[in-house]
C-alpha cells in the first residue's frame, strides 16, 4: 500500500472501532473524533435523571437523551448520570442537546485523562478519578474516570461502569432539609467531588491494615513474598499519586475562580475538599517513605542473614583448616616418618585435633567473632 495512504487507512480502521485500548491507538484521527478509549465494560449504558429542589425530588430512568427535553423544568436542579461509556451516541446526543464542545466529548470518552478543570462560556468540565481498593486481588487498586459537566441548574456525570459510588448522594437527597436540596448545581458538583475523595480515605485505611503488620514482620522474618508485596504497594502508591495530586491544582483553580457558576458560599465547601486532598497526598508521601524504609530494612535483614551464614561457614572452615593440614601431613606416604610407628600416635592425633578445635573456639569467642 502507498505509504501516504497508510495513515488514512489506519484512521479509517480506528474510526470504525467502538473501543480503543490506549490513546496511542487514536493516532491519525482528527480532533473531536468520538471513540471510547479504555476498558470495555459489559454492562449496558444507563441514563438516570434526578430533579430536585427544596420541596420535591423526582427520579427518572430514560432510554435516550431526547427524553430529557420533556423533563425540563424551571426552579429545579437536574442531575443526569450516565453509567457506562460503551454507547458513544449517548455522549454525542448530550453534546448536541447542551451545546458541549466536541473536544470535551472526546475527553469524556477517553478514560486516560488526568484530573483537570476546563472552563467554557456556559459550562465547566471536570475530570476526577474514582479509586477502589481490591485487597483480594494481589493488593490491586482499580481506577474509574468520572467526568462532570457543571451548567446552570444542570450537572451531568459520566462514569465508566455502573456501581454504587453515588449511592450516598442519592441517600442524602432523600432529606428535605439537607443543604443539597437547598443549594444550587455548584453544591451538587461539590458533593460529588467530596463523595469520591472520601473513598480515598477508605483506600488509605486498607493500606494501613496491610503496611502496619508488614512493617512489624519484615524486620524479624523477611521473605520473598514480603518483598513482592512491597513492590506492588510501591507501584500502587506511584499510580495513586499520579491520579490524585492533580486534584490540588483543580481545586485551587476553583477556589480562585470568579466564574458565575460558583456561588461564594459554596466555594468554602470546595476549600474543605482541597484540605482533604492535601491530607491524602501527604499520607501518600508518608506511605512511600515507609515503603522505601521497609525495602531498605528488607535488604539489610537479608544481607545480615547472609553475613551470619557466611560467618558460621567461615568459623567451621577456620577450625578445619589446621585439622586438614595435620591430617594431610600424616597422610603422606613416606616410609621413614618417625611418628608412624608410635603406639600412642593415633590417640595423640585426636587429642591435638580436639585441643586445636576448642582453642580456636575460645579464641573466636574472646575476639567476639561468635
Using one digit for the tens of pLDDT, what is the confidence trace for 211-224?
Answer: 888 888 887 777 88
251 and 111, same structural domain?
Answer: yes
203 and 113, same structural domain?
Answer: yes
132 and 236, same structural domain?
Answer: yes
Spell out the residues 6+ positions from residue 141 whose beta carbon is closer than 8 angstroms to its own.
Answer: 131, 132, 133, 134, 203, 236, 239, 240
| Average pLDDT, rounded, for the chain | 83
Domain of 36, in residue numbers? 16-300
What is the C-alpha separation between 328 and 162, in angstroms, rounded?
A: 80
Spell out the residues 6+ positions from residue 192 whose beta carbon is closer than 8 angstroms to its own.
Answer: 146, 148, 155, 157, 166, 169
**Which pLDDT score is estimated for 332?**
80
Using a pLDDT cut of 90, give the percent of the chain over it: 27
344 and 271, same structural domain?
Answer: no
Better-scored residue on pLDDT, 364 or 266: 266
Better-scored residue on pLDDT, 278 or 365: 278
280 touches 244 (CB < 8 A): yes
- pLDDT value at 253 more than 50: yes
**Which pLDDT score is estimated for 25?**
54
Cα-only R_g, the chain: 35
Q: Is residue 320 part of a domain?
A: no
Q: Is residue 3 part of a domain?
A: no
User: Cα separations (Å) of 352 from 326, 338, 345?
Assistant: 9, 17, 10
285 and 199, same structural domain?
Answer: yes
Q: Residue 148: pLDDT band by 50, 70, 90 thresholds?
A: very high
Contacts from 302-308 at CB under 8 Å and sequence distance 24+?
A: 302/222, 305/222
Secondary structure letter of residue 50 according to DSSP: E
**In 3D, which of 196, 188, 154, 155 has the Cα closest to residue 172?**
188
337 and 249, same structural domain?
Answer: no
- pLDDT value at 19 more than 60: no
Amino acid at each position: 500500500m502507498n505509504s501516504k495512504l497508510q495513515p488514512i487507512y489506519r484512521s479509517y480502521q480506528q474510526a470504525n472501532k467502538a473501543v480503543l485500548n490506549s490513546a496511542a491507538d487514536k493516532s491519525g484521527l482528527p480532533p473531536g473524533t468520538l471513540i471510547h478509549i479504555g476498558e470495555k465494560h459489559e454492562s449496558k449504558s444507563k441514563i438516570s435523571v434526578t430533579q430536585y429542589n427544596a420541596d420535591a425530588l423526582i427520579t427518572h430512568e430514560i432510554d435516550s437523551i431526547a427524553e430529557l427535553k420533556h423533563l425540563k423544568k424551571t426552579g429545579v436542579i437536574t442531575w443526569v448520570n450516565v453509567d457506562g461509556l460503551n454507547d458513544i451516541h449517548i455522549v454525542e446526543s448530550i453534546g448536541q442537546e447542551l451545546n458541549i464542545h466536541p473536544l470535551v466529548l472526546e475527553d469524556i470518552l477517553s478514560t486516560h485523562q488526568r484530573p483537570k478543570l476546563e472552563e467554557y462560556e456556559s459550562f465547566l468540565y471536570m475530570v476526577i478519578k474514582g479509586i477502589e481498593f481490591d485487597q483480594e486481588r494481589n493488593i490491586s487498586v482499580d481506577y474509574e474516570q468520572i467526568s462532570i459537566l457543571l451548567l446552570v441548574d444542570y450537572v451531568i456525570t459520566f462514569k465508566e461502569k455502573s456501581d454504587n459510588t453515588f449511592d450516598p448522594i442519592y441517600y442524602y437527597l432523600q432529606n428535605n432539609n439537607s443543604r443539597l436540596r437547598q443549594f444550587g448545581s455548584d453544591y451538587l458538583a461539590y458533593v460529588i467531588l467530596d463523595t469520591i475523595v472520601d473513598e480515598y480515605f477508605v483506600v488509605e485505611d486498607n493500606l494501613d491494615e496491610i503496611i502496619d503488620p508488614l512493617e512489624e514482620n519484615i524486620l524479624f522474618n523477611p521473605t520473598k513474598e514480603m518483598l513482592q508485596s512491597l513492590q506492588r504497594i510501591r507501584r500502587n502508591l506511584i499510580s495513586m499519586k499520579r491520579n490524585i495530586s492533580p486534584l490540588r491544582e483543580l481545586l485551587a483553580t476553583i477556589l480562585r475562580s470568579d466564574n458565575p457558576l460558583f456561588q461564594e458560599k459554596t466555594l468554602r465547601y470546595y476549600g474543605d475538599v482541597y484540605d482533604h486532598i492535601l491530607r491524602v497526598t501527604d499520607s501518600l508521601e508518608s506511605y512511600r517513605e515507609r515503603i522505601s524504609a521497609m525495602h531498605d530494612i528488607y535488604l539489610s535483614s537479608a544481607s545480615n542473614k547472609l553475613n551470619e551464614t557466611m560467618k558460621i561457614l567461615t568459623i567451621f572452615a577456620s577450625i578445619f583448616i589446621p585439622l586438614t593440614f595435620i591430617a594431610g601431613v600424616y597422610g603422606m606416604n613416606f616410609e621413614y616418618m618417625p611418628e608412624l610407628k608410635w603406639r600412642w600416635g593415633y590417640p595423640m592425633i585426636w587429642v591435638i585435633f580436639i585441643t586445636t578445635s576448642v582453642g580456636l573456639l575460645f579464641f573466636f569467642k574472646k575476639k567476639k567473632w561468635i
